[in-house]
Amino acid sequence: MAEDLLHEVTQADYKYGFTTDIETDIIPIGLSEEVVRLISFKKNEPEWMLDYRLKAYRHWLTMKMPEWAQLKIPEIDYQSISYYAAPRTNGPKSLDEVDPELLKTFNKLGIPLEEQMALSGIAVDAVMDSVSVKTTFKESLAEKGIIFCSFSEAVEHHPDLIKKYMASVVPITDNFYAALNSAVFSDGSFVYIPKGVRCPMELSTYFRINAMNTGQFERTLIVADEDSYVSYLEGCTAPMRDENQLHAAIVEIIVHKNAEVKYSTVQNWYPGDKDGKGGIYNFVTKRGICKGENSKLSWTQVETGSAVTWKYPSCILQGDNSSAEFYSVAVTNHHQQADTGTKMIHIGKNTSSHILSKGISAGVSQNSYRGLVRVGANAENARNFSQCDSLLLGDKCGAHTFPYMEVNNETAIIEHEATTSKINEDQIFYCNQRGISTEDAVGLIVNGYAKEVLNKLPMEFAVEAQKLLQITLEGSVG
């Protein structure tokens, strides 16, 4: 029975696989100082931005790919990738100017750029490959003083903010992929919420890797000033591809005094086919800092895609009484590999963090949780609770947990628990008895298992996430 189900799972196709024919402006493959200069030139960047890129590039040359993760990554030739791709249609003034093919792509993805947007209350800064094509609701946000624009626009119009905050959480020397991103990043989103403003809608960006062989290197910077609030959504789908694509993003979040940021991701990039061919390599550095007192940062992620995921959304709890949360569901199937988790660095007094991670592995995939909870010497009364559960569907997959706890203060209370098991036969039997097919029962149980995390997602996302879970585990989930 289980084998049949698994067989069906392996037959499940990637539902969002399609490519759009749009002319793209691609620079030749390879990475060198000239390429970095060219990217900067093409984007009309100021001198200081180019200096920053070059510094990052030079540092990157001295670094090696990290090998500590529980991942088998074939050697990546960084010289065989094109580092810049932008749609030719530059700077559309209105919807009419947007390439119809592009609009179709967005519609297929279910991103209505038009009226529906206003109804659903989401502002979308849609990133097609690398250059931001269309930003909606900018004006209504601008009324409140909120800045929500593409990274390049921010470099042009708000250089002070960029200079102040960029790389303040993830320095160029942070890690291999962060350095690479800092050198060649194409575009991304910038959000600034001014003092005392509560962002009236969910901010959302859809990223899409579209052109052949172009790694996408976006950069997101979110700054929430004192007493502000924002909820930010990021969702990803990518077309079917045979060659592995590299994706190395950076997300930086700065949360000031009494402010709160919620960051939610649904990641559903192409995971490769059932033989493990193709798929996206997702090496992301996400980090936020609770800078001021009483600040709050919350990460929620649903990871269903990518052939290889290397991602550790982290929080630095610097302000006193600050708190952080990390909720994650990671599903791997076929030959997918995921090494994901979080870091909670407690520095301020009375800080608290909560980690809830649910891993589901099927097929011949490998799914790891890797997390660090560090309590600094002055972090009085730090509190952490971590729970990492793994569910195994099938006897060829693997589930692993690597939690690290480093405590330097005796007033800290740190708890960690982890379990690994397969779906309880009794539960399936119970459902069967009541006329629920095994397939549906597995679906019910998996959804129930991930519920705690899915509940943390904003409404619109929760629905999509649930769908994704089902698509990813199709056959075994029903």
Partner 1 sequence: MDESISKKPTSGVVGEASYIELYKQHHESIKMHSTEVMNNIRDDAFAQFEHLGFPTVALENYKYTDLKTALTIDYGLNINRIPIPVNPYEVFTCDVPGIHSYLYFVVNDAFYPVNDARNNVLPEGVIIGSLNKVAEQHPELVKQYFGNLSSTKNDGLVAFNGAFAQDGFFMYIPKNVILDKPVQLVNIMRSDVDFMANSHNLIILEEGAKAQLLVCDHTVDDVHFLSNRVTEVFVGENAIYEHYKLENMHVKTTNLATLLINQKASSNVLANVITLHNGLTRNTIEIDLNGENCETLLCGMVIGDKNQQVDNFTSIIHNKPNCNSRELFKYVLDDMSKGAFTGKLYVAKDAQKTAAFQTNKNILLSKTAKMRTKPQLEIYADDVKCSHGATIGQLDEKAKFYMQSRGISEKEARLLLMYAFTSDVIDNIRIEALQDRIKMLVEKRLRGELSKCEGCVICQ
Which residues contribute to the site for partner 1 (CB under 8 A)?
68, 70, 377, 390, 392-422
Measure the CA–CA gap between 60 and 178, rounded to whole angstroms: 9
Closest to partner 1 by CB, 13 or 417? 417
Asked if 136 and 106 count as a contact pair (C-beta separation under 8 A), the reply is no
Q: How far is the CB of 62 from partner 1 (least distance, A)?
A: 16
Backbone phi, then psi, for 303, in 5-degree steps? -110, 110
CA gap 14, 84 in Å, rounded: 26
E strand map for 248-295: 250-255, 260-268, 280-290
Closer by beta carbon to partner 1, 20 or else 309: 309
Question: Shortest approach of partner 1 to residue 406 CB, angstroms?
Answer: 5
Instruction: Tell me how far, at minimum, the Cβ of 405 lies from partner 1, in Å.
Output: 5
Indicate the residue type of 90: N
Whole-number minimum distance, CB 456 to partner 1, in Å? 24
Residue 390 near residue 361 (C-beta atoms within 8 A): yes
Per DSSP, the residues of 208-226 read: E--STTB-B--EEEEEE-T
Is the Cα torsion angle 432, 434, 440, 441 positive or negative in sign?
A: negative
State the Cα torsion 124-130-131-133 to the nearest 10°: -40
Q: Which is nearer to partner 1, 402 or 449 (CB)?
A: 402
Residues 462, 102, 91, CA angle at the centre, nearest 5°?
A: 110
Which CB, 80 or 419, lies closer to partner 1?
Answer: 419
| Nearest alpha carbon to residue 404 among 366, 382, 365, 375 | 375
- Of 265 and 366, CB closest to partner 1: 366
CB of 368 to partner 1, least distance (A): 8
User: Minimal distance in Å, beta carbon 384 to partner 1?
Assistant: 9
SS3 169: coil
Task: Report the nearest approach of partner 1 to the CB of residue 265 (Å).
Answer: 25
Smaller CB distance to partner 1: residue 416 or 467?
A: 416
Q: Which is nearer to partner 1, 132 or 386 (CB)?
A: 386
Closest approach, Cβ 277 to partner 1, in A, equals 22
Q: Which is nearer to partner 1, 116 or 411 (CB)?
A: 411
Quote the CA–CA distance of 6 and 58 in Å, as a whole number.
47
Q: Least CB distance from residue 370 to partner 1, whole Å?
A: 9
- Please report how close the Cβ of residue 361 comes to partner 1 at its closest, in angstroms: 9
Residue 65 or residue 413: which is nearer to partner 1 going by CB? 413
Compute the distance between CA of residue 324 and CA of residue 316 in angstroms, rounded to an integer.
Answer: 9
The counts of H helices and E strands in the chain are: 12, 24
Alpha helices, H only, 262-324: none
- Pick the closest to residue 279 from 6, 74, 107 (CA basis): 74
User: In terms of CB distance, is 1 or 119 closer to partner 1?
Assistant: 1
- Minimum Å distance from CB 285 to partner 1? 20
DSSP string, 223-243: EE-TT-EEEEEEEEE----SS
Q: How far apart are CA 175 and CA 181, in angstroms?
A: 10
Distance between CA atoms of residues 44 and 154, nearest Å: 12
Tracing tokens 């969702």 back to the chain, one arrives at 235
Q: Toward partner 1, which CB reaches closer, 414 or 442?
A: 414
Q: Does the CA dihedral 172-173-175-177 come out positive or negative?
A: positive
Q: Which residues pair with 389 in a beta bridge?
A: 358, 419
